Homo-oligomer: A and B are copies of this chain.
Amino acid sequence: MERRAVSATDGVIYDFTPDLEAIHSVDADAALTIETLDSLEGAVQSEDDVVESIPEEVNAATGPIEVEAASPGDVLAVEIEEIRIVEDAGRVITIEGFGLLADDEDIEAPRSKMTPLEESGTAITFEGLEIPVDPVIGTIGVAPAEGSYDTLVPHDHGGNLDTTDVTAGNTIYFPVFQEGAMLAMGDCKIAMADGEMCGTGAEVATEIDVSLEVIEEPAFDLERPLIETPDAWKPIASAESMLEACKIANKDAVELLAAEHEFDATEAHMLSSLVGGLEISQVVDPLVTVRNAIPKDYLSDPFDLE
């Protein structure tokens, strides 16, 4: 199958809305290479380039891409095959009033550091330290059911999830809320810690190879993004407080485990308290994001239950 190229010059969005207009239209089982801009669109090329405040337009997401067979009620599976770094450096920055330690007087903002890619292409350097290249897609999502979410916000449509598991080798599943799903992605990092504490990872432009699949009449009624890793299924939830996000992600895990094992909610809740567990995605965006890992030993394919 031919791999379709989607360039950022074809179009990017800064808001996920219900009525997006597609820049490309592809088959339900398409293979794509999607070019993404760095989240700051080239504004930081040296330590002298600092970002005084969060730009009004940030986290450009390349797309939207209409997936022809996708209709509301379906699930869109996005298998992330490879994320290639297409710059010779990333950058990590602080912005005043942004980040976990924004109130800490020892933290200087704005400030920028470049993280040059080593010749091998497998590591970057940060102030002389070597950090393995382990790319993450920060912003990825589909057109929401209603409302408008700028690309700094994570929610049930995806968006700025900033989740380290959104990486090559994993598949992310989205509910389809609108005809054609309207997939868009950007805001990649060469490396990022769980939490994204200073407000960014090592932000970078990339090319991303993905394969799409539309799951019709899914056995599980997906309400928000779900990640599949080689070992686990992880519902992802975003909310105003971390505790609220944990409740949503755990409730999703309870529903998945209950459906798989024909448990009642209490039994599934108890099982969720014994295996896998809650993980932090990011604690710095306008809504915070957590996920709840369910080892595959306890959950097969939630979209294809017998």
Interface residues of A (CB under 8 A from B): 92, 94, 99-101, 104, 106-109, 111, 113, 115, 126-127, 129, 131, 164, 191-202, 241-243, 246-247, 250-251, 254, 261, 263-267, 269-280, 283, 288, 290, 292-293, 298
Instruction: List chain B residues, Cβ under 8 A from A194.
Output: 276-279, 293
Q: Is the CB of B106 within 8 A of A273?
A: no
Nearest B-chain residue to A92, judged by Cβ: B270
A270→B108 CA distance, assembly (Å): 11
A195 touches B113 (CB 8 A): no
Interface of A is mostly: mixed
Q: Is the CB of B126 within 8 A of A273?
A: no
Residues of B within 8 A of A278 (CB): 193-195, 197, 280, 283
Contacts of A107 in B (CB 8 A): 265-266, 269
Question: What residues of chain B lie closer than 8 Å to A293, measured between beta carbons?
Answer: 194
A254-B106 Cα distance, complex, nearest whole Å: 10
User: A273 and B241 in contact (CB under 8 A), knowing A113-B267, A246-B100, A267-B113?
Assistant: no
- Known A241-B243, A246-B195, A279-B194: A104·B274 in contact at CB below 8 Å: no
Q: With A246-B280, A278-B283, A280-B279 given, is the CB distance from A273 to B129 under 8 Å? A: no
The quantity of this chain's copies bound in the complex is: 2
Most buried by B among A92, A202, A280: A280
Query: Quick one: given A104-B251, A241-B242, A242-B242, are A274 and B127 in contact (CB under 8 Å)?
Result: no
Q: Are B104 and A265 in contact (CB under 8 A)?
A: yes
Contact call B276/A101, Cβ cutoff below 8 A: no
Q: Report the minimal beta-carbon distance from A197 to chain B, rounded to whole angstroms.
A: 5
20 additional A-B pairs beyond A126-B271, A241-B241, A280-B280, beta carbons within 8 Å, are A92-B273, A100-B247, A101-B251, A107-B265, A107-B266, A108-B266, A115-B274, A127-B267, A129-B261, A164-B277, A191-B275, A192-B277, A193-B272, A195-B277, A196-B273, A241-B243, A242-B243, A243-B283, A246-B280, A278-B280
> Contact at A288–B193, with CB atoms within 8 Å?
no
| CB-based nearest B residue for A199 | B273
CB proximity of A54 to chain B, nearest CB, Å: 16
Tell me if A197 and B250 are in contact (CB < 8 A): yes
Cα of A107 to Cα of B127 in the assembled complex, Å: 50
Task: Check B265–A202 contact: CB distance below 8 A.
Answer: no
**Complex contact B298–A129 (CB within 8 A):** yes
Q: Please, how many angstroms separate the alpha-carbon atoms of A199 and B192 in the complex? A: 31
Give, as a whole number of angstroms, the nearest-CB distance from A256 to chain B.
14
Which residues of B sit under 8 angstroms from A197, Cβ to Cβ?
246, 250, 269, 272-273, 277-278
Are A283 and B246 in contact (CB-based, < 8 A)? yes
Would you give the shortest CB distance from A306 to chain B, in whole angstroms?
16
Q: List 16 A-B contacts (CB under 8 A).
A: A94-B266, A94-B269, A100-B250, A107-B265, A109-B266, A126-B270, A129-B261, A131-B274, A131-B275, A192-B274, A193-B278, A194-B293, A196-B273, A197-B269, A198-B270, A243-B283
